[in-house]
Amino acid sequence: MYVYADNAATTAMSQTAIDAMLPYFKDNFGNPSSLHSVGQAAREALDNARDKVAACLGCEAREIYFTSGGSEADNQAIISAARLGARKGKKHIISTAFEHHAVLHTLAKLEKEGFDVTYLDVRQGHNITAQQVKDAIREDTCLVTVMYANNEIGSILPIPQIGAVCREAGVLFHTDAVQAAGHLHIDVKEQNIDMLSLSGHKFHGPKGVGALYVRRGIALTNLIEGGAQERGKRAGTENIAGICGMAAALEEACAHLDENAAKVTALRDRLIEGLSKIPHCALNGDPVNRLPGNVSFCFEGIEGESLLLLLDMKGIAASSGSACTSGSLDPSHVLLAIGRVHDVAHGSLRLSLCEYNTEEEIDHILAVVPEVVQYLRNMSPVWRDLQTGKRQYIL
């Protein structure tokens, strides 16, 4: 048995998404900007896809801009809001300490340009409150950008409440909804969201395509100059197949959202309950307001990369926030932001589920993970020191 439990990294494409894409590789290969009938067929497909995505978010089709993915959407939303703010002398931005790097690195770039960024503390409950946002808003705040749900630890942020706070204060509100779209109910009008980013491959759509919702009246700054595609705001011939695949996948995910969430939540809760029995571990993320598919733990005395390699050998694809897997010397900034110290952040494991996972797969994970954790602890000098009292348990 091989269990794919890394759906927060990417998902398998659905047959619906594949079927929606195939015609646009060969038979219907036109460029939507062409006037002839081949081009116009592609134009129609593009328009239909935009309608579908808009319907899933509760906005108008003209408020949807297709991008190359979530990162581009995040970059463009934040840069645009910053340029609008700067024109009015407003150069303060509010975000959180556990955003995705697409947001954090864009904010770091703006800080170098003289913007002031407040990163809200996420240690309390591994989440933020709308009150924290309200308290951080200043006269010169031009943007609040907080993620809809965290990719590593699964916390769902109080987006409608934050939206209300921002609307009342007259501050633009962007949310990186890459982990939420297709999994949680989103209604940008009801939730007072001004800008929202999403990515196709997180809900069984294709990679390399995403979307940015921008409320009518907010002027976007172009990141890519060229032709007049996407209302002149994002140049480049449209990725028609990708866009159609993403739209079909999102439509399907939203149509089955409640049933999928119920099924995946039940699998998740079984997994959390079972893994919690491993001694000296801790659940990362908000235990209540949590993505249906997210399971994230820190296990004391072991290191995440060796855990992942062994799990892969034993038929489980998972992820970790250890330094060795992050490609840097530091463990995940998300785990550090919620207050996990380096020693335990190195021993993190994320299992992210989707509706394709089964009860049998959960049984397999529950049988393998405790065994592998114990195996690694048995060869760990840190674990020995903890057991013999030479080192104090943190978890």
Q: Give the residue numbers marked as catalytic.
A: 324
Rounded least distance, CB 279 to other proteins, Å: 17
Give the relative orientation of helices 70-87 and 101-112 as an angle to the nearest 10 degrees: 30
- Write out the H or E segment, with its range, that includes residue 211: strand 210-214
Contact 353, 271 (CB under 8 A): yes
Rounded least distance, CB 199 to other proteins, Å: 25
Rounded to whole angstroms, the Cα distance separating 329 from 29 reads 46
Rounded to whole angstroms, the Cα distance separating 272 from 376 reads 20
- Which residue number, 79 or 382, has a Cβ lying nearer to other proteins? 382
DSSP summary character for residue 155:
B
Rounded least distance, CB 125 to other proteins, Å: 26
Is 302 near other proteins (CB under 8 A)?
yes
Rounded to whole angstroms, the Cα distance separating 376 from 366 reads 16
| Residue that the structure tokens 């909804």 belong to | 177
Q: Give the range of 60-68, 269-277, 290-298, 381-389 binding other proteins by CB under 8 A.
A: 381-389
Angle at alpha carbon of residue 301, lines to 300 and 307, rounded to 5°: 90
Site string for other proteins, 321-350 (x = CB under 8 A): -xxx--x-x-x---------xxx--x----
Q: Measuring CA to CA, which residue among 5, 23, 85, 75 is closest to residue 297?
A: 5
- Which residue number, 262 or 309, has a Cβ lying nearer to other proteins? 309
Rounded least distance, CB 249 to other proteins, Å: 28
End-to-end CA distance of the chain: 32
Interface with other proteins (CB under 8 A), residue from 232, 259, 379, 393: 379
- Which residue number, 288 or 329, has a Cβ lying nearer to other proteins? 329
- Interface residues for other proteins in 155-184 (CB under 8 A)? none
* Number of shown-chain residues binding other proteins (CB under 8 A): 27
Contact 97, 124 (CB under 8 A): no
- Which residue number, 71 or 332, has a Cβ lying nearer to other proteins? 332
Instruction: Give the tokens for residue 376.
Output: 């690694």
- Which residue number, 189 or 342, has a Cβ lying nearer to other proteins? 342
Rounded least distance, CB 264 to other proteins, Å: 27
Interface ranges with other proteins (CB under 8 A): 301-306, 309-310, 312-313, 322-324, 327, 329, 331, 341-343, 346, 378-384
